[in-house]
Chains A and B, each alone.
Chain A
């Protein structure tokens, strides 16, 4: 029995020490990480609205040019000048969550810009979903009735070319965009109607 006790004891000690390290690191870095993520979100939205800023005045510029409204759990960032709306979408990709910002014109249908904030897809294949070049394909397309990411997409406003060699990520991405749009549209219509 004694060797088993020693083993359990060792695991407990090791688990405790490593947990302490992780909890400590989390406490130390949590605020900075949140601040970094917030700054990134703001800079992404300001970029979509073509508003210039720099690292020092980003928060004041953001607060004065963008209106923030939360409805049914979804936060909308509205450009005070053009009326364009942005919201954050999130969903499961193939390897991990895909999180990004989508900006729509004030008709809440035409895409102005999509930017990816976080993804863990295969580099070079699914990872292309985060590249500006690929996301440029979405500009001007429409979300209604749904966006389709398929092979050999036509010029139809609802179709975008899939990433070659990355069918799963392309499907997952389309799914994420459409699902998040459905909830966002419901909330947006409730706000206006």
Chain B
């Protein structure tokens, strides 16, 4: 139990997958224009990352037992795409309101680097199934935190600040991210993954 709490704390703070490992930047920069979109994307990412990590775990164990781990990258990508596709169809059929709320985010998640990265991380660090679930959930919550933070700042800046034209839009996001990642360095040593 302590291990789970430690993993959750670590993945949200000093091992934050967006602000410490700098992964998943492309969708983060694109979707952080306002907090509402950011929240939608973030929640969708939490679902997909946790679900796919849990599915990829037994598949990886199977590959390991047959000695074909070099196929793991390929297999992970296919399971991720399949999971997202099924999730889309499932939501469309049983929870159409939720499906409409997610909108275009679900297909975009397939290409979010963190979905693949989380699976590669659990392989590299040899986590157990429970650790993998906690790690994937925590990492995606960490990413959710990052995108909402950036969106909140961007939204406020767009309304109130007079930015130089060259920095408007995506330019300023980098400065925001720079300051945020600098701040998160302050968490170093907090918890171990």
Contact = CB atoms under 8 A, between A and B. Distances in A.
Interface of A is mostly: helix
Interface residues of B, number: 13
Interface stretch (B70-78, B106-114, B141-149): B70-78
Contacts of B15: 168
B124 A22 contact: no
A15 B78 contact: yes
Contacts of B124: 92, 95-97
Interface string B58-86: 00000000001011001000100110000
Given A11-B78, A15-B78, A92 B125 contact: yes
A167 B81 CA distance: 35
Nearest to A120: B124
Contact of A19 (B74, B81, B188, B189): B74
B189 A22 contact: no
Interface string B110-134: 0000000000000011100000000
A95 B120 CA distance: 9
B189 A15 contact: no
Interface string B21-60: 0000000000000000000000000000000000000000
Contact of A22 (B70, B78, B125): B70
Nearest to A26: B70
Interface residues of A, number: 13
Contacts of B125: 92
Contacts of A15: 74, 78
Contacts of A186: none
A26 B82 CA distance: 26
Contacts of B71: 19, 22-23
B178 to A, nearest CB: 15
B78 A92 contact: no
Interface of A: 11, 15, 18-19, 22-23, 26, 92, 95-97, 167-168
6 contacts: A19-B71, A22-B70, A92-B124, A96-B124, A97-B124, A167-B189
Interface of B: 15, 68, 70-71, 74, 78, 81-82, 124-126, 188-189
Given A11-B81, A22-B74, A92-B125, 13 more contacts: A11-B82, A15-B74, A15-B78, A18-B74, A19-B71, A19-B74, A22-B70, A22-B71, A23-B68, A23-B71, A26-B70, A92-B126, A95-B124
